[in-house]
Amino acid sequence: MRNFYQVLLNTLVANVTTSYLWFALTFWAYLETRSVLATSIIGGSYMLLVAVFGVVFGAIVDHMKKKAVMVLSSAVTLATYLLAGALYLAFPEATLVDWGRPWFWLFAGVILIGGVVENLRNIALSTTVTLLVPADRRDRANGLVGTVQGLAFLVTSVFSGLSIGLLGMGPTVLIAIAATAVAFVHILFVSIPEPGVVRAPGAAPAKISFRGAIPAIRSVPGLMPLIVFTTFNNLIGGVFMALMDPYGLTLFSVELWGIVLGVTSIGFIVGGALVAKFGLGKNPVRTLLWVNVGVSVLGLTFGLREWWWLYAGGLFVFMCLMPIAEAAEQTIIQRVVPFETQGRVFGFAASIEAAASPVSAFLIGPLAQFWLIPYMNTADGQRTWGWLLGEGEARGIALVFTAASLVMLVVVILALLSAPYRRLSASYAQTPAPLADGPLPA
């Protein structure tokens, strides 16, 4: 477990850094352009690249030692941030913030790539839980992973807003470069006992292969429907990804919005800590679906009035629920999928789940910018929807939140009543956990 805690510490530093710069880029882009379309394109592009490279990252994880994967991830992220710093020095900021010119998108794209590569580390971390943690403690270990990710979100959401508001984009990039270098040096000295790459019995050493994910998923009754369900949820989640920051920046200044995100993100730590303390119960599949019921209800309520405390309180509860859902999905896969293919399954799941978000983000950005927001500012829009959403500057965004959450609630209820839910629950209960005797000998 000491080795696992060292990996968690390194992941904390790495996640803090990438989240810090990614949040800062989103804040900076919106404040400089005042364009929901620009921020939705940035967010959608991130999720699109996660979708494209998830399967590739999963194959890399299955065919390399986990420490080597994490070193590779840190090295690539450091290189991209150095390039972003060079671009910032090479062009005046007035040129970089013009989102109609290529330099804005090149600068944003380089930072985006550094953040995407961080997902290689996160896939490796999910398999490292299986490698280093005994089977009866993995749900709690996944809760610790959620706590670390929540702590990263807490730190970065506060400091990203303050950094952009008080320092500007240039110093923010410099801080990210320094922190990434620290993470890179630290991972070189972290020990992950792993005598070799684990392969299926009788399998010969091979080059990196993308095969294996689909057969592994199809061999588990109900696992593919679970991934499809999560994919649909991410389709709805893309709506929130595109509009959550613009909604918050309508209610708060950038400095205060960063602090609000930081305070509400304590919910990530609370949710992760609850899983670490109590686990996920006998049936994580049921836990996952009921958490999504809660998320749907929250989405229906936190935008009904333009009250800062309603939005902030809803975000806090939302962030409490997210690490529980993440830990549940990870625990299910770690239980029902053989260790030698877990990287590809996690990567495949990340790919198709992430693919949904850019679709909705790319669609909802233009719809909100050019239709819904102007419509809700008209007398007809206010007369039609005012009884439900009240009055305010961001009622168009609130209408989108409400409609998306209603669709999500209906789908979750149908999933709870479905046969695939019962089949996957039975499979989880009956399948022996991989590496059930604990870590592999060094």
Q: DSSP string covering 67-125, please?
A: HHHHHHHHHHHHHHHHHHHHHHHHS-HHHHT-TTSHHHHHHHHHHHHHHHHHHHHHHHH
Kindly state the DSSP code that residue 210 receives in the 8-state scheme.
-
Mean pLDDT of the chain: 81
* Digit-coded pLDDT (tens) for 160-193: 878 888 888 889 999 999 999 999 999 998 888 7
- Does residue 228 lie within any of the structural domains? yes
Which structural domain range is residue 418 located in? 2-193+215-430
Which residue from 177, 183, 188, 175 is spatially nearest to 80, judged by alpha carbons?
A: 177
The pLDDT confidence band at residue 205, using thresholds 50, 70 and 90, is: very low
Q: Which of 177-186, 206-215, 272-281 has the lowest mean pLDDT?
A: 206-215
- Does residue 38 lie within any of the structural domains? yes
* Structural domain total, the chain: 1
* Digit-coded pLDDT (tens) for 281-327: 888 889 989 998 998 898 889 888 888 889 999 889 988 888 888 88
- Does residue 49 lie within any of the structural domains? yes
Distance of alpha carbon 364 from alpha carbon 396, whole angstroms:
11
- Does residue 180 lie within any of the structural domains? yes
- Does residue 170 lie within any of the structural domains? yes
- Does residue 203 lie within any of the structural domains? no
**Would you say 204 and 19 are in contact if contact means Cβ atoms under 8 Å apart?**
no
Q: What is the CATH number of the domain that holds 158?
A: 1.20.1250.20
- Does residue 441 lie within any of the structural domains? no
The single residue listed with the structure tokens 């999910």 is: 126
Position 74 scores a pLDDT of 92
- Does residue 326 lie within any of the structural domains? yes
